[in-house]
Amino acid sequence: MKTALTLTLALAGATFAAQAQEIKGDAARGATLNASCIGCHGIPGYQSSFPEVYRVPAISGQNDKYIIAALNAYKKGERKHPTMRAIAASLTEQDIADLATYYATHGGVPAATTAAVTPPADVAALLTKGACASCHGENFNKPIDGAYPKIAGQYPDYLFSALKAYKVEGNANVGRGNAIMSAQVKQFSNKELKAIAQFLGSLPADVHTVAQSKFR
């Protein structure tokens, strides 16, 4: 069953990757398009209040293909967040590719340690049950495909909120429409998801928030 799940996830990632490769991103142009991004993602520790209070995700150093997939999911309404959907809807495919390329290398990518961090036994069991490393890779920082996110070192309150969102059904304003992730997270209680998020957030990371020197 685990092999079948890994194959399914790999095929899904390949589909996202193929879509992402259609347009080549221009980081220099992306730097001119980020005015709608820096007001949240350019402030370390900035908190969103929808649908609950959590720090917005660190996106500098994130995989460009994943950023493309995420923005397109907001644009299509597969990820439900009114502000992000409005921003994504205003972007062309080229804009999205340029922003993704920009943020993938924004501020330089810190060299996260390659040494494995051993989770507590209870968390290790949860990570194994969810087969998390089968997609998110070594130390949860080297996904098997660029269409999957680096989750090591991401803000744990954001991770917790995001994981819970995959459980939501039938809500026009909240939730994430991803059948694979939905099936995965429904195996866990919110307490277990929080424990997973806290461990992942404690890991060395490539993703980070780069403070902006000015706003425009």
pLDDT band at 12 (very low <50, low <70, confident <90, very high): low
- pLDDT score at 55: 98
Residue in the structure block whose two tokens are 């490769």: 21
- pLDDT score at 20: 45
pLDDT band at 114 (very low <50, low <70, confident <90, very high): low
Residue 14: partners with Cβ closer than 8 Å, 6 or more residues away:
145, 147
pLDDT-above-70 percentage for the chain: 86
- pLDDT score at 105: 93
Does the pLDDT at position 164 exceed 90? Answer: yes
135: left (phi over 0), alpha (psi -120 to 50) or beta: alpha
The arithmetic mean of pLDDT across residues 187-208, rounded, is: 97
The arithmetic mean of pLDDT across residues 133-152, rounded, is: 96
DSSP 3-state of 80 = strand
Contact 148/184 with Cβ under 8 angstroms?
A: no
The arithmetic mean of pLDDT across residues 115-126, rounded, is: 93
Q: Global pTM?
A: 0.87
Closest by Cα among 185, 186, 164, 173 to 82: 173
DSSP 3-state of 36 = helix
**84 phi, psi to nearest 5 deg:** -65, -35
Contact 134/144 with Cβ under 8 angstroms?
A: yes
Does the pLDDT at position 215 exceed 90? Answer: no
pLDDT band at 116 (very low <50, low <70, confident <90, very high): confident
CATH class (in words) of the domain with range 2-201:
mainly alpha
Q: Is 204 exposed, middle or buried (0-12, 13-18, 19+ CB in 10 A)?
A: middle
pLDDT band at 112 (very low <50, low <70, confident <90, very high): low
Q: For 56-96, what is each residue's pLDDT tens digit?
A: 999 999 999 999 999 999 999 999 999 999 999 999 999 99
